[in-house]
Amino acid sequence: MENMVDHSFGGVFAGKKVLVTGHSGFKGSWLTLWLTQLGAKVVGLSLAPDTEPSHWKILQLSGPHWLMDIGIYDNVQQVLATVKPDLVLHLAAQPLVRQSYVDPVQNWHSNVMGTVHVLEACRQQPSVKAIVVVTTDKVYENPESGVAFAEDAPLGGHDPYSASKAACEMVVQSYRRSFLSHDNAPLLASARAGNVIGGGDWAADRLIPDIVRASQNKQPLQLRYPQATRPWQHVLDSLSGYLMLASGLLQGQSELASSWNFGPSDSDTTSVVELLHLMKLHWPELQWEVSAQLQWHEAGLLRLNTDKAKTLLSWQPVWNVAQAASATALWYQAFYQHNAVLTSSQILDYVRIASTKGLSWATN
């Protein structure tokens, strides 16, 4: 089964130098492990983990990395010049809505200027062939009409986090048009994923880490918005989209240099409380109650249109929301009850199921 992972994505990543910014975070650590299993030479650039436990520390990944702030251009330029990567996957960001209200200046600096620094360093480094900038499904102007946002929907954002990520998309578009349109320029795309869940996330003010902490403290979680509806998906579904996009860019498919949505099927867009009930099927100890204290604005409804990725990339989610909830609950149970880490085994299981479904990236 490990050979199945090794040969995924047509073996495109084998031997490639890949720089992952934000490698020490939740999504970045899953991505770093998967790329390593694909034979890539992965280098990380990120701040030190700000949670305890830390998924990145638990995985004990041995590849080279720099713990630096991308908000300082010289840091980014130094790493790019040293590593000379073929591919850059830019995930580093201030990722939390509530934190963006607490410190909006740092939020804007990290998310917007951090992206400018990465793209500027990339265009100065001749080795770079492809860049994927990861933003969020919250980049869209959201009137909560129930319409699923396609990639050409207007950008916007109520809170500083969402607005800064919409601004990142403008930065990407500007760099693509202004500096990266000549024949030998790296191909640049952006990826907008739904609300990602999975084991190994301990960030503050996120639903799954919050209920995990509440469970460990034997207390009910205080839910702020139980009926808020989101496009929940497992972290591996978003990462498979990023990797499909990156593999095409590395192979010179210039038509892929644009923005892309990666989200669940419409039927898997569910409310907060529905997701928790799915997890409770595998983790009966989980408890929650509705809080009367609402502090910040949060969208009540968000849906993504992923027709572009399904049609042009032949991408589709592998796990539905029930399977994502199950995998997430089982990961945390294994960690807390048996001191076991299921990350590698869940990647193998995910690839196996994708291959059974005949998905092109898993059968090449």
List alpha helices for the chain, DSSP H.
Answer: 2-6, 26-37, 55-59, 73-83, 97-102, 104-108, 114-123, 160-178, 207-216, 235-250, 272-280, 307-312, 321-338, 343-356, 360-363
Residue 252's identity, in one-letter code, is G
Question: pLDDT tens for residues 182-211?
Answer: 989 999 999 999 789 999 999 988 999 999
Asked if 111 and 168 count as a contact pair (C-beta separation under 8 A), the reply is yes
Better pLDDT: 301 or 226: 226
Segment 33-54 mean pLDDT: 96
pLDDT at 95: 86
Segment 68-73 mean pLDDT: 96
pLDDT at 1 over 50: no
pLDDT at 4 over 70: no
pLDDT at 285 over 50: yes
Asked if 101 and 160 count as a contact pair (C-beta separation under 8 A), the reply is yes
pLDDT at 301 over 90: no
Segment 295-316 mean pLDDT: 84
pLDDT at 212 over 50: yes
Segment 314-326 mean pLDDT: 97
pLDDT at 294: 59
Asked if 119 and 188 count as a contact pair (C-beta separation under 8 A), the reply is yes
Asked if 301 and 138 count as a contact pair (C-beta separation under 8 A), the reply is no
Kindly state the percentage of the chain with pLDDT values over 90. 83
pLDDT at 2 over 60: no
Distance CA 175, CA 316 (A): 29
End-to-end CA distance of the chain: 14
Segment 251-260 mean pLDDT: 98
Segment 271-283 mean pLDDT: 94
Question: pLDDT tens for residues 130-184?
Answer: 999 999 999 999 888 878 999 999 999 889 999 999 999 999 999 999 999 998 9
pLDDT at 54: 96
pLDDT at 225: 82
Distance CA 88, CA 106 (A): 23
Q: Tokens 């592998």 identify what position?
A: 318
- 134 is written with which tokens? 């990861």
Kindly state the percentage of the chain with pLDDT values over 70. 96
Q: What is the mean pLDDT of the chain?
A: 93
Segment 10-39 mean pLDDT: 97
Q: Who's near 274: CB < 8 A, 6+ residues apart?
A: none
> Could you give phi then psi for residue 353, rounded to 5 degrees?
-65, -40
Asked if 270 and 232 count as a contact pair (C-beta separation under 8 A), the reply is yes
Residue 75, SS3?
Answer: helix
Q: Length of the chain, please?
A: 364
Query: Highest-confidence range of 56-65, 83-92, 211-220, 276-285, by mean pLDDT?
Result: 83-92
Residue 234, SS3?
Answer: strand
pLDDT at 299 over 80: no
Query: Highest-confidence range of 62-66, 127-131, 157-161, 218-222, by mean pLDDT?
Result: 127-131
Asked if 137 and 195 count as a contact pair (C-beta separation under 8 A), the reply is yes
pLDDT at 32 over 50: yes
pLDDT at 297: 57
Segment 50-67 mean pLDDT: 93
pLDDT at 328: 97
pLDDT at 263: 95
Q: Is the peptide bond before 53 cis (omega within 30 degrees of 0)?
A: yes
pLDDT at 124: 96
* Res. 292 pLDDT band, cuts 50 70 90: confident
Extract long-range pairs of 290-296: CB within 8 Å, 24+ residues apart: 290/222, 290/223, 290/226, 291/222, 291/223, 291/224, 293/222, 293/224, 294/224, 294/225, 295/98, 295/224, 296/97, 296/98, 296/101, 296/159
